[in-house]
Amino acid sequence: MPELPEVETVMRGLAAKLEGRRLARVVLARPDLRWPIPEGFVQFLSGARVEGFRRRGKYMFMRLDRALSVLIHLGMSGRMTIDSAPLPHQHLTLETDDGAIIGFVDPRRFGALDLVATAAEDSHRLIAGLGPEPLDDAFSPATLASALEGKKTPIKAALLDQSVVAGLGNIYVSEALFRAGILPHRLAGTIGRGRAGRLVPAIKATLTDAIAAGGSSLRDYVQPSGELGYFQHAWKVYDRAGQPCERCPGPAACAGISRTVQSGRATYFCARTQK
DNA sequence: CTTTAAGCCTGCAGGC
DNA sequence: TGCCTGCAGGCTTAAA
């Protein structure tokens, strides 16, 4: 489900409820999600105080006292609930010392839970290979252009590669490429400094706008508060095949939003304004 | 080395 | 109504 804006939104919701609280009760309903959950997971969390949260790409860390962090990945269908009755596929339940109930629900179980020393978060095997944070200043046209240099994959696939930039998924790649006026099929190696100069700001603006809207809600995504994100109403191309492109003057000029499949994933674009 | 395809799981929408 | 197929926000692995 969740790409960077959804993970950021979820993390903020959790932080508001959990920071400074102690985990009074921890219940794990199964020993594994995508991978086994480490031995002693429940014991390490039980009684711990939550110091803070950090996001890296689509991963988040819940930092506990005792120099330990819980790595949380929502995968495709993962979500967090606050003060909700237990739901089907709720694999982890946390209860705080002030009575808040946090649930981790993930029907498809592509998500992950792990423990890592706080000082070693960046060395975790799922984190170590990640590219730059797209909203950091270090993610610039120069760094992106150099990361794409010589790449023979389409730019769409390159931006989905988390080692190029961390946090983009299928929705926001389509949206950012539309915003930048770049065709998803264009080979990454042909982006160069000029187009990267449009693409990087487009990525940052797309993500910033989506975070401000609380992410995109489709299927089962809600903020932990139960509130829906509303960025899905701001999609320009994603899931809009056949609909008019708002940048084009009308049907005479443009056939509307196209949908194709690239490496097994749906891609949406305007064939007239993206090159 | 790089790039593509299959697989992991469940749930849901659409076609028959 | 039920069954079947395809598809879904991610990521890893094996194969090409």
User: Does the pLDDT value for residue A168 go beyond 80?
Assistant: yes
Query: Which CATH number belongs to the domain containing residue A82 in this structure?
Result: 3.20.190.10
Q: Which is more confidently placed, A254 or A227?
A: A254
Q: Which nucleotide is closest to the Cα of A34 by its C1'?
A: B8
Q: Are residues A78 and A189 in the same domain?
A: no
- A58 classed as catalytic: yes
* B13: residue with closest CA to C1': A219
End of a domain among A54, A88, A123?
A123
Average pLDDT over residues A144-165: 96
Q: Where are the alpha helices (DSSP H) in chain A?
A: 4-18, 41-45, 141-148, 155-160, 170-180, 192-212
Q: CA-to-CA distance for A88 and A111, rounded, in angstroms?
A: 15
Going by pLDDT thresholds of 50, 70 and 90, the confidence category of residue A220 is low
In a domain, A134, yes or no: no
A232/B15 CA-to-C1' distance in Å: 27
Q: Point out the least confidently predicted range of A26-40, A63-77, A240-254.
A: A240-254
Closest by CA to A97, choosing from A146, A47, A135, is A47
Q: Is residue A146 part of a domain?
A: yes
Which residues does A190 contact at the CB level (< 8 Å), separation at least 6? none
The CATH number of the domain holding residue A254 is 1.10.8.50
**What's the total number of domains in chain A?**
2
Per-residue model confidence (pLDDT) at position A218: 64
Domain housing A169: 141-270
- Set A3, A6, A8, A175: catalytic member: A3
* pLDDT value for A227: 77
Q: Domain end: A123, A150, A182, which one?
A: A123
Question: Are A118 and A148 contained in the same domain?
Answer: no
Mark whether A3 is an active-site residue: yes
A250 is a domain residue: yes
Q: What's the CA A252/C1' C11 distance, rounded, in angstroms? A: 41
Is there a domain that residue A227 lies in? yes
Question: Has residue A275 been placed in a domain?
Answer: no
SS3 A190: helix
pLDDT the model gives residue A56: 98
Phi then psi dihedrals of residue A227, to 5 deg: -70, 145
User: Strand A112-117 relative to strand A68-73: parallel, antiparallel, unpaired?
Assistant: antiparallel
The reply to whether A135 falls in a domain is: no
In this structure, are A68 and A178 located in the same domain? Answer: no
Q: pLDDT digits over A1-47, tens only?
A: 599 999 999 999 999 999 999 999 999 999 999 999 999 999 999 99
pLDDT tens-digit readout, A100-111: 999 999 999 999
Per-residue pLDDT band for A274 (boundaries 50, 70, 90) equals very high
Q: Which residues contact A92 (CB under 8 A, 6 or more apart)?
A: A26, A27, A28, A29, A103, A104, A113
Interhelix angle for A141-148 vs A192-212, to 10°? 120
Q: Model confidence over A84-132: pLDDT tens digits?
A: 999 999 999 999 999 999 999 999 999 999 999 999 999 999 999 999 9
Q: Residue A228: pLDDT above 80?
A: no
